[in-house]
Structure 1
Amino acid sequence: MRSILRRSAGQPGQSHDDAGASLTRGPARVGRRTKDLTKRLAPGDVAVIDHVDIDRVAAEALVAAQPAAVLNAARSTSGRYPNAGPRILLDAGIVLVDDLGAGVMAVSDGAVVAIDGGRVTVDGETVAEGARQTESTVEANLAAAREGLSTEIERFAENTMSYLRRERELLLDGVGVPDVRTEFEGRHVLIVVRGYHYREDLAMLRPYIKENRPVLVGVDGGADAILDAGLRLDMIVGDMDSVSDKALASGAEVVVHAYRDGNAPGLERVRALGVDPVVFPATGTSEDIAMLLADDKGAELIVAVGTHATLVEFLDKGRAGMASTFLTRLRVGGKLVDAKGVSRLYRTRISNLQLTLLSLAGLAAVVAAMWSTSVGRTLFGITGARLDDLVSWMGSLFGG
């Protein structure tokens, strides 16, 4: 195991051993939290993760970082539900080796690893062996996982009743909703969650935001999405595990999502930044309590971007069921407009060339209309004479 702790020489990418077999090499970047690891991945790196059921958001973040390979200590598809992550990685041409075991997490960060099939080596020494995923293996795993959805539906029914018993006073009467300084009464509220296609949807809503000036609420990392879009952030809601210090210090009001017993893991971090937060103890997800808060404080309309509504989306978040989301949406009722996917509803088909030609055609029409009148012809004549004078003056200037 000494070689695991040493950094090897070599260049990332594809190479060949003496036998001519294709290998994938690259410096290892090790992290147990995929969303944190992607922030320091560079193209050609090898991501070493421990992520059961790689979800769509994590896979898209990995693809954006352009690693040469992903080594997963866990099973990328456990069979609990048909997650989309493995297929997204393969479609992007990224090598995926699965179920390598905890030993692969001991690889030194920065050590150059070589991947040959399902075997992972450092300095020629095998450190882990797993299953290299292909199109056929991913499809077989997904087919098996689809059969497990019935179990998740049963859990959903059980969790719905359990959640209703625990939170009926909050859901029905708003008991436990804290006071906040942000003014919601009679206003539109835009809640942004870092879910599927949130960037595209947020960009598509710019005209709506400019016209209606809604209260902008970011749920954890959704706060950074709002700031990255160049928009003003009014409130941050969440357990503060994926929001940046920059967002927390932006001046937006911070509502820390706590457990029912009052324990709030993110509270200490927020206070360490000199921010005095509001604590909201409740079960369920942070996006749920953001909706409940907006509704209880009198919001006229709640627009949601990137939120989770389907069974697969909720399971991507690692929850056993989506009872809180289901009941929250029933509670909010007609105020809620789900804008997730709005960017895919309509995409412009007009190219820049077409816009240029259209502008030229419009200009030609204006010129023709003016030429058809005596006033227009007179104006063109005066303009032409002025241009002749200008040309003559410049000629005399340079000639002299």
Structure 2
Amino acid sequence: MRMEEYVAVQGDTYRSIARAAHVGVQELARANPQRPADEPIRAGELLYVPADPMRKRIYVMQPGDSLAAIAEWLGCTDSRLRALNPQLPSGAEPAAGMRLALPVQAASRIVLPSYAYGPDHVAVDLKRLVSAFPFIKTTTIGTSVMGKPIFAAGIGDGPFRWHLNAAMHANEWITSLIAMRFLEDYGRACRRKLQIGGFDAADLYRRTTLWVVPMVNPDGVELVQEGLRPNHPLAARIGRWNRGSASFRNWKANARGVDLNDQFPAGWEEERLRRGVHGPAPRDYSGDAPLSEPEAAALAKFTEDQCFDAVIALHTQGEEIYWNYGGLEPPESKEWAHRLGLASGYRPLALTGSDAGYKDWFIARYRRPGFTVEAGCGRNPLPVSAFEDMYDDCLRLLTEALDLSPR
């Protein structure tokens, strides 16, 4: 791979340099074996940066064009185009003849970012993914409180079994987009015999089996995105639990007001007392008993049936990786978290004072590596405009995770 020289300036980090060069943090680290990757960069240091192999897609503005029209044509947002083109005049339309850098996007893209990427989108896109990539398997692991299917999709035929779940918390639904986009990109890379995240996709496919549950909490996601419909069977109760507010931006729970990530039998009683929430609420209510909710029970049973070797629960936000639980995690967990952090730019943390989460239960039950990944930064629900940057980090983290499997 062709390398370019880069002289560091004050404030540079591996992550900031990698993002500017459109490469992964891990690729940047591999290109600079002469220095420790976790050592702060000093201004004036000479680093070697892999050259971006992708040619930029350019559009020349035509008379009558508008940024909104170009964004609609591409299926992205105005803000995404402005972020790619910092030379654009603020608050004004680009003039005819001006060149725009466009996001690189396959014409046949299946999973498209949307401000309302909900349960119906997941169902439709899974069918389209299976049609495009027949080696992707799908199944239904259970149903939600309101009877919505909870889907799982599998890819790979290797002996090491990974699991990824997303949208356990309703207002973190953007994680479903990340999980679904990863399935698409991984499937396409396998079909075309390409690399993904710097790794050979066919090799990952041979070594691992990955099962993804892209939306654990479909009822809650629907509330966050669409609000409470008057004809909802639980409308009166949900409205009361939400204190009469028409906004469900802060809703994390399922349709019975139970926080699904406080539902697992690993210090459940301790977490219930710590939270101090004694009845259904938008968040933090642990329920009447562990696994009382159909969504959590379905995920636990699926995990037991599949006997996963390692798991990732994808949440937002904070750009952190939690890898431990009560000293029950295996010795390799800390090193794996370090590698995932290096790949993504996220910070590995040993978490204390938290129980009853899916990752906690998995570690306690199986003594195998389990991780909670808090993707992105900001306030939930994170905006769709943050998706591309979040996805790039998570793509690198997930491919690094698959590569952790034994050879």
Into which bin does the TM-score normalised by the smaller protein fall? Answer: under 0.3
Greater helix content: 1
Scaled by the length of structure 1, the TM-score of the pair is: 0.23
Q: Which has the higher contact order (CA 8 A, sep 6+)?
A: 2
Scaled by the length of structure 2, the TM-score of the pair is: 0.23
Query: Max radius of gyration: which structure?
Result: 1
